[in-house]
A and B are shown apart, each in its own frame.
Chain A
Amino acid sequence: MFKWHSAANNPSKGDDMFFKQRNKKNGPQETTTCEQKPDEKNLKLTTEALRSVLGENSDVTFKEIYINSNKDLRTTLLYVEGMINTKTVNDDILKPLIQESKLSEDRSLKGLIKLIEYGTVYHAAHKTRTAINDCINDVINGSAALIFDSESKAITFDVKGFEKRAITEPTSENVQKGAKDVFVETLRVNTATIRRRIKTPKLRIVQTIVGRQSMTAVAVVYIDGLTNNHLVDEVKKRLDNIQIDELNSPGHIEEYISDSRTTMFPQIAATERPDRFCSNIVSGMVGLIIDGLPTAYIVPATINQLMQAPEDYAHNYIVSSFVRSSRYFLMFLTLFFPGIYISVATFHHEMIPKDLALSIVAAKEGVPFPTFIEVLAMLFAFEILLEAGLRLPKTIGQALSIVGALILGEAAVAAKIVSPSVVIVVAITGIAGFTMPNLDFSNALRLWRLIIAVLSCIAGLFGLTIGSLILLFHYCTLESFGVPYLSPFVTADGKSWADTVFRLPLFLHKKRPEELHVTNKRRQK
């Protein structure tokens, strides 16, 4: 029922070999988006009919109007209170309807509708609706409708006027240098933000509705003639296949359009920064904006992309390369450090330098637990602190970090419950994990860190190696929208390596990422 609201001239024959078959269980879906009474579709567009559908709502207003005070020319104004801007309705719709004498010159409603359509009521965004559902949708989305019963027609005016959050500074993806705007919960504001950054007429923002009850608008953003058409089609296909009640939380979209459901790693990248979103769109990726969510999504996601921070392009390339490469190092550190510590402290003692071993022994003296229990307990304690910090109101958050981390840690060490070296290891691990630019990615690393630590407890470096091989194997099996998760590291040609572990100077980024198979490969001369 809800068609793609754009003349996207993409070949709709998706290359099925290119993408993994998914949603097999769901099969072809019926296209109804909201549960409707069987006869509702066939209802004529009249005030009575609309009243039967929406009339019980206390926030829906029906108001009968005589055009130009002429009793014969009647229309009904329909809107949802709070969703519209009352001043606009008064000044730009009601006022001309009442005052514009030209409207009563033509005595028929047909002529009147034509006059309104061609601008006698001066409002830019209006649509003429003949189907009742279209009309209802418009009204629910913040339009005011003028219903002409005898013609079974309605003209809807987009007069949205609900409260929306202002564009503030980013909260999780902060930068010192560079743009400081952020996506907000309102789809139209976000699409406008993107349009302001990518002004090419080929930018496509096409919309669909997801969620049978919530009926949330989701916009797919790409650049026509640049983005891989198969990718765009696949994204649209997967969105169409989502058959859920509501789309109010990021999981509702992430879980339904991701390739693999057995992985912890994010397969679409979330961002709250329009600049990052746009630069990915221009690179040939496809963006998703969801009404009601202040994060936008970029598909496909690769490890390389998840490891990039927006600030990487703001600083000198040598500095950025250093930061980027150390971020990769920290990824390994946060994954393996507890495991390595357990391994060398309980299995491969000869790997620790002698003096360090002696100081570890000195610190460990009197601690009743074996090293691996200490490490696992501390890792768990760290998770507790993280979770508690998230749940607490911001004002108490400070207290938590002081009581939880400082006092408790200090006391635990002083009481010889954990050894200071373990506290150091876990602290370094935790802090290293915070440097990951993507939250979902760092969460996945947190869990894998635990798995690897457990394996290290069992068999030392042998277990650690098994763990890392399983992880590597897992990475290799992952694909995001037909793009290998490890690309471009898995490609042998090294063409897209200019922007990976090191960020080479921008003039070397001549081509768009190879793995995206974009239509227009070259991004600069």
Chain B
Amino acid sequence: MKKYLLAGVLLVFSFLMNGCGEKTFLPERKELVDLELIEAVGIDKSPDNPEDIRVTITSKMDKQGAGAGRMEATGQAAQGGGAVVVSSEGKTVSEAARIFQTYNKKQVFWGYADFFIIGEEAAREDLIKYLDLLSRGQALRHNARIFIVKDATAEELLAISKTGALYVPQLLNILLSSTGLMSVFGRLELIELMGRLDDEYSDVIIPALRIAQKDPIGQKKDESDEIEIRLEGYAVFKDAKLIAFADKPESMGINFITNKVKSGVVNVKDSTDREVALEIIKANTKIIPRFDGDTVSVLVKAAVESNVAEMHSTIDIFNKDELEKLEEQQAAAVKQYMETAVKLAQINNTDILDIADRIYHKHPVKWQSLKGRWKEIFPNIRFDFEVASAVKRTYDIRQPNKYKAGEGE
């Protein structure tokens, strides 16, 4: 009988301690419909009051336009757009986040926020200050992606959703899924960033976004005032403060050195001086720290394999001589990418390439003597590059159209 009594007591307990009251250890019951399922959070410095923080949230507007009342409250009108973009300000991020509740019709639910976007100004000031709640808050996802907005605030970027043409979180998802194609970009999760920020010797890079006018190429002029979001390489940080942005070649170099290249296109020229596009199919980089007495130098050993994706001449390039030429050019291009990346890092004295980490893992004992002086050593380290370049194959068609044997050789 005891067991049934126990089961009964458990049941009664659970009924008494139901989730309706304020003071209960049980989770509170909330209907999914009553929640504002925000998908992106933007964090900026307040434009009016530099001490304050402005938080912007974006969520998809529900069908019935239930967000109308909310729009009035914030004085912003959604013009047929499919998204709700609301901002609030406070001394801290958490204060600003709570303030939403004072005028938002629905309860803000942070669990689906997949993107944390930080404005450039805020990033230049101090990343830690803006990031702490995001990493500490138990309702937030640690696998959310972090972005920095170049030349704009996060609010401006998220506000693009309001026009209805683009829904920023959805667009970011699509853009991220194709980062591998060019390898000039990367993805960074909050948890990864938190780990990297704790690393005393390395610095962080965060993928950057830019609001751009729609590319006028191929567009009529009156259409070109539409805006779009572009992936814009990396934002480079030093001591958790934004100091520079890496452009395309630099970002590609960073990706090569940190072994993040999945694919990409390298344009080279064949013997008739016409373009050949090489599509990277495999890239692998090793960083080998070398010691000459106390002086440390780094050998970057990259292996790149590619396919011929496109060629503009009508000659046969699939012979040893031609291919060797292509390979040399490819090696040179990759080397140049990496050099620019190293240059960027060394000029700013930010170890964004994880060199310290490599040295620590390969030579833990020697690292002990180095680590104290790392900030002084790093800008002057000599980097050597070795690129093993190979052009592997092409696809079903070897010779271009109009190809005549013997021509051009």
Interface residues of A (CB under 8 A from B): 262, 345-350, 352, 354, 357-358, 360-362, 364-367, 370-372, 455, 457-460, 462-463, 466, 470, 473-474, 477
Contact = CB atoms under 8 A, between A and B. Distances in A.
Given A354-B37, A458-B26, A364 B32 contact: yes
Interface stretch (B13-21, B123-131, B353-361, B381-389): B13-21
A349 B111 contact: yes
Contacts of A348: 27
Interface residues of B, number: 32
Contacts of B111: 349-350
Nearest to B66: A365
Nearest to B3: A477
Contact of B64 (A346, A365, A457, A459): A365
A361 to B, nearest CB: 5
Contacts of B27: 347-348, 459-460, 462
19 contacts: A345-B31, A345-B32, A346-B29, A346-B30, A349-B30, A349-B32, A354-B37, A360-B32, A361-B62, A364-B31, A365-B64, A366-B64, A367-B33, A371-B32, A372-B29, A458-B15, A460-B19, A470-B7, A473-B7
B361 to A, nearest CB: 35
Contacts of B299: none
Nearest to A343: B27
Interface in B9-58: 10-11, 14-15, 17-19, 26-33, 35, 37, 39
A362 B63 contact: yes
B37 A361 contact: yes
Contacts of A345: 31-32
Interface of A is mostly: helix
B19 A459 contact: yes
A366 B10 CA distance: 35
A262 B7 CA distance: 13
Given A365-B62, A458-B18, A458-B19, A354 B39 contact: yes
Given A349-B109, A357-B37, A459 B32 contact: no
B10 A361 contact: no
Given A365-B64, A460-B27, A466-B10, A473 B3 contact: yes
Contacts of B26: 458-460, 462
Contact of B18 (A362, A370, A459, A470): A459
Nearest to B109: A349
Contacts of B31: 345-346, 364, 370-371
Given A357-B112, A458-B18, 18 more contacts: A262-B4, A346-B31, A347-B30, A348-B27, A349-B30, A349-B32, A349-B37, A349-B111, A350-B111, A350-B141, A364-B33, A365-B63, A455-B11, A459-B17, A459-B27, A460-B27, A470-B10, A474-B7
Contacts of A365: 33, 62-64, 66
A361 B84 CA distance: 15
A349 B17 CA distance: 21
Nearest to A345: B32
Given A365-B64, A462-B27, A470-B10, A357 B32 contact: yes
Nearest to B111: A350
Given A455-B14, A459-B27, A361 B33 contact: yes
A504 B112 CA distance: 44
A473 B8 CA distance: 13
Nearest to A262: B4
Interface string B58-80: 00101110100000000000000
A498 B109 CA distance: 48
B32 A458 contact: no
* Residue from B7, B14, B18, B66 whose CB has the most chain A CB atoms within 10 Å: B14
Contacts of B250: none
B4 A347 contact: no
Nearest to A372: B29
Contact of B14 (A352, A357, A364, A458): A458
A458 B31 CA distance: 13
Contacts of B17: 459
Contacts of B155: none
B270 interface: no
Contacts of B19: 347, 458-460
